[in-house]
Structures are given as C-alpha cells and as structure tokens.
Structure 1
Amino acid sequence: MTVLSQSNTDSILSTLLNQEPHAEESFAQEPLVQEPQIIQSLYAALVDKEGFHPFLNLIVEAIQGCAAELVVIKKQPLQIDHIWYTGLSEEFMLWYIENDMIKSDLVSNYATYTRPGLFQTALSLIEKAKQLPDYGRWQQDQNMIDSAWLVIDSTDSHTTLLAIQRTVEQGAYQAAELNQLNRLAPYIKQAVLLYQQLDKTQTQTESFSSLVKALPYPSFVLNEQAELMYLNGKAEDFLCRQDQLMLNSKRLEFQDEEHQASYLASSTQIIRASMGQSEFDCDVIVMRINDHKPHLLALTPIDNSGILITVYDGNQRTLPTAELIASYFGFSHAESVLCADLVLGMSLKDIAVKRFKSEATVRSQLKQMFPKAGVHRQGQLICTVLKALMR
C-alpha cells in the first residue's frame, strides 16, 4: 500500500498532471472547455476530503449533463457497494436503493458484466432495457434520455462504473461528445485505481484506535468508501456471536435484504455529510435476531470522511425508558412512550396497532417531536436518544 501525505501531494499531482494518455487512447477531438480543471479535480480526489464530488460536478457541467454517478457494483448478488453522485436528490437515491432499482437500471445491468473500455452511449441498449421491470417508471420519473458510461475497472467480484445522464431536453450524446469524454478516460481510470490503492487510513486508524478501543459498545470505523478501517474487540465478539451481520472484503454485509438496503442508503448519505456534501446527520438501523430484543446500529458521520457505527444491544444493556426520555427531552407522556417504542425497534405500523390509532396519526405525532429534540428524521431521533441516554 502507498501512503500519501500532504507533504508530497504537490509533487505527485505535478507528475500526474504532466502525464499524457497512451497513444492508442488519444483522440483528435477538441477537448472539453474545462478539461484541465477536470483532470486536476481527478487527482485532487486522492487527498481532498471531498473525494470525487468536485470531479463529478465539473464533468456534468462541462458535458452539459444533469447527473452523474461513480459506483462500485458487486456482481453476485447484484448490488451497490459504494456510490458517489451529483445531481440526484436524497429522496431519489433512497427510492433507488430501497427498491433495488439497480436490477432495473439500463446501464448498470449491462455494464456490470462488460470489460473496461471507452465511453459508450445508453441508446444502443434501449431495446434491451424495455424488457426490464419498472423501466417505464424509471424513464418517466427521471426524464432521462441517454447516459454516457465508462467501465473503469472490472474484477471477478466487482465493477467500477462512471455514468453521466442527460434529460430529454438536453438531448442524446453525439459521437463528437463521446470522443471528448474519451480524452479523459485514461485519466479517470488512473485516478480511480490510484484512489482504491492508496492507504489513506493509516494515520486516521492510529488516531482512532485508542478512542474506539475505550468505547463501551461494539464499534466500527469506516472510511469514505465504506470500507472497514478499525473495529474494537467488542465489535469482533459481536460479529462472532450472530450471523445477521458479517465482514466481507472489508465491507459490512447484512443477511437481510431490507437491512442491507437501509445500510447502503444511510451510509451513502452519512459519508456525503462527512464530506460537507449534505446536512444528513446520524441514522439508526434496527436489527432483530430471532425473538430477542433488537440490536440498534447507530451510524454517525466522522469529520473529514467516514462513519462511526456503534452497536447497542438491548439484550445486554437496558434501553432508555419512557420516563427517562421524558425527563431528558421534555416530551409529553404519550410522546415519550412513542419514542421508547421506536427505540425498542417497533415500526410505526406496529405502534399504531398497539395504540388503536392510524399510522398517519402516529406519524404526525412523531413529526411534532422532532423540533423538541432538534432533529429532522426518525432515525436521527433514535440515534440522538441512544447517544444521550445509553451509558
């Protein structure tokens, strides 16, 4: 592994920026207006806490697209392991992930099993895409007409893919535009592969190790690619004691598909927040094992890229009671009972049945609690309660 420090950043960037693509990968086409800035942003991602977000923003603007994603796709089962994106709302990404839309995604379905090469257009795949479930909704909801895509890397287990979308109003990609993008292809591949190889976590791991070791709960630290940097002994024991969560190629994987989708959606937004790309705060995944009390996995952003995951085991420690929640947050009795039920892992639907009320009524009451706790989402509320009251 190569360790890249701030002291040698300038010399590395200078060397990389003076390199030219291989002759067989050069194109006579005029470059994009912002080509130098785009190349600079690619190699700056090796040391910049924002990673590839500035690059995605620049290339979308330069090619007049509407959105772009740099995504690592696991082949079996087909799922997203990590994603950088721009131009897409958090609501859309949640819908995409939670509904497993990668299986209906035109480009991802085809490109995942394609060898690395040059940029291609999605238009040639339209006839194949029409056979995919939910394709009509995908096309109608997002108003997408075309996508320029590049397979950056492909192994037996994963594919790294870049896709840049256009709307109907922006029009389909022309051959000249693909050639402009292909001028950048060698730089994109080199920068992304270097990024994957760099050991940027060594110093962070050393600084986190003593802190995480002292935490009273099983704790994991993930980097900006959602790969495991560090876990304490309690976390190792936790992984050994159950089979619902495991470590696979430095990534956490859930057996339950809903848990996996929730984890991917939350971790994607939290990493973006740690990079200053969104205001998304902490979140919680409720993991039930048989009939035991739930395990609550609290995901919290770490400044300068990363996630701290803390596991609260309801079987080993007493979860906050309604009385304790009321005294700390100033909730009414009914609000505190609702919050305590959420901490116990109950869904809003289950709570509504328990109270003989509609789910809409319970949801309305929940939203009224957010300002009192200084939060905006259900997962953020549970996470806040756990961090405040679990000792």
Structure 2
Amino acid sequence: MTKFNFDDLIKSLYGSLIDPDGFKPFLSKLIEQCNFRSGALIMANMETRDVNVIWMEGLDLENIHLFMEHLDRKDPLIRELVKAEPGSLIIAGDATREDARINEPEFYHDWICDLDIHYAAGAVLTIEGSWVSQMVFQRRHDQGMFLPDEIDMLKQLIPHMQHAMHLHHLKVDQDKQRLLSQLLFDQIQQPVILLDNANNVCHYNQKANAFLSKSMPLKIINRKLHSIKTNKNTEMDLAINACRTNNNTQTVHINTENNHTLALTFAPLVKENNNIEHGIAIFIYSSEQASNLDLQILHDLFNLSDKEGKVCCELVNGRSPAEIADLHYLSYETVRTYIKRIMKKTQTSRQNELVAKLMSSPAFYPITSPSKV
C-alpha cells in the first residue's frame, strides 16, 4: 500500500495560494508521493480552444499543446472528462488503452506508445464560463495501474483542489471586491446564512445547509430563521435591528442540548458590493468545533504578528472585541488597537469584511486525513 502524508499535501496545496511558484511545489510533491510519470493542471477554453498550462511536470510544452489542440478529442479520458460533473475522478486503465488502440490508432501510437503513457487519471476542478480547469496525471506501463488506496486518496483530495482553485480565481479578482460575493460565501468552511432587506433567508452555503439539516436549535420556517428556544427569537430580532440601525456586528449566544454554545454573528453587508440590498450575513460558530487559522500563513499573507493572528482566530470564531479582551486578560482598547492594525494590514475597513477576508484566505482551511491511506 502506498504511503501518503495527506495532511502535508493539504497544507502544501493551500500554501500554493501565497507561494511565488503557485501550485507547482504542491503538484510536484503529489507526483513524487504517488509515483506518477507526469501531470498537468490546465485551463482550457472550450469555445476558442485556447490552453493555459498552469503547471506541468514530466511533459514538455510542445507535447501538451499538441495533445490539447489536435489529439484531445481522440483521448478516451478527455472525452469522459468533458461529460463528467466537476469533482468526479475518471480513471483510464487497460480497457481504455485497448479501446484507443482499436478506435484511435494515431492517438494510440503518438501519445500512448511514443510518450509511454499507459494509465491516466483526471478530474474537472472548476468551470468558469467557457473556461474549464482540468487536473490530469499519467503513468508509464511499468509503474502499473492506480491502486485502490491511491484512487481513494485522489477522490478525497479533489474537493480541496476545487476549493483551492476557487480561491485562486477569487484572489485574482480580489482588487475588484471588498466583500463577499455569493460564490465566496459558498467557499467558506463555516455555516453562513444571508438575509435580505426584509429579514428573509435568501441564501445559505453548503455548510449552513448541512448544519440546518441536523437536529439543531435553529430552523428556517417560512423563509425566517427561528430558534427552538423562543426567548432567543426576540434576542435575534433585536440583534438584526441593531445590526441594520448601527451598521455594526452583533452576536447572540445559544446553548444547545449537548452543552455546547452556538455564537451567531450578525454582520451588515455593504450595498454596493453585492446584490442583496441592506443584507445581513449570519456567521454560525460552534464551541464544539472551533475554527483554525494558520498563524504562519497569516504572517506571510498580511505580515501579521502572532498576537494579531491570535486576535484574528478569535474573531473568526465569533468572539466580540470585549470577549477577546476578557479571554486574554487584555483591555478592550488594546484589542481594538490590534483590530485597527489588522484592518490596515489586510486593507479592510469593517470587522465583518475582515472576518470574510480571513475565512476566504488560504490561512483558513480544514485538515482531514483520509481513513484508508
């Protein structure tokens, strides 16, 4: 069985977003750990046939352009990728190679035989308009077919690759955005619910959907967010009104039946930066599973000190400046000073904008190890 350091791969992946060499160090590490012959991360325009090679190893540029421009429609793996849903892992093995030998002899000779590519795996990561990002890996005949544990690892890696690619696209557009778009909400690894100007739930991300589907003290009824503890509904209404009136963040704490605490942070959205007029974002934090920020990545991204990074950790876990002060035996004004410095370094002007930027940065990510590797 192949041995992987999955956590190391994940950290290297998200570190790619701030690495001058981009995704190259991560993908080179993946090729080494998995004993691949070659691999590529490609952006292809399905309309114009333009190809942008983000990373490639084990193949030269001439080969990859020849493949994409002339032979890709003959490749059984690419034909399957074109039809596949984003995130699906496609494997090309012995049967695929034999099909190519019979039905596409030119492709079989020029690509499989001459370049010694006998096995391949690939996945579509993202689709942005006519642009499709594809991840493909190949093996020589002597390296053998992909093993079950390798396939399992790649399947668990793909969602992280998709997340990293989305963050890559968002990072490219970062100068044009000051606050979360709906797409960015969907990438946050924390439950987020959006309210429109009538306090109706107009959107919630996948994490919030999973959260609400469980037996939790929060439910959406007739497009309104309700707590099963009726006294908390009044407190939530007051927080929403204060959030709108004062244009600042509010926090409501709810105790669960399992003796955990939910912190609901209500943050006003800036009108000109989203399509929700006077909207409110509700970030849901649970003491059962605290969020985590990598202090080193925060330093590399924004030049934050460790103390500033720890304040950021508390903010993304839903704690107010007053709560942070009490928790760390600091004065309220000291915490406010830290936050002002952090906002200046992160080029944000509001606390909710700061939290959004932190949670969409590569410093904030889940690390989970696959169970079968």
Report TM bin, short chain: 0.3 to 0.5
TM-score of the two chains, using structure 1 as the length reference: 0.40
TM-score of the two chains, using structure 2 as the length reference: 0.42
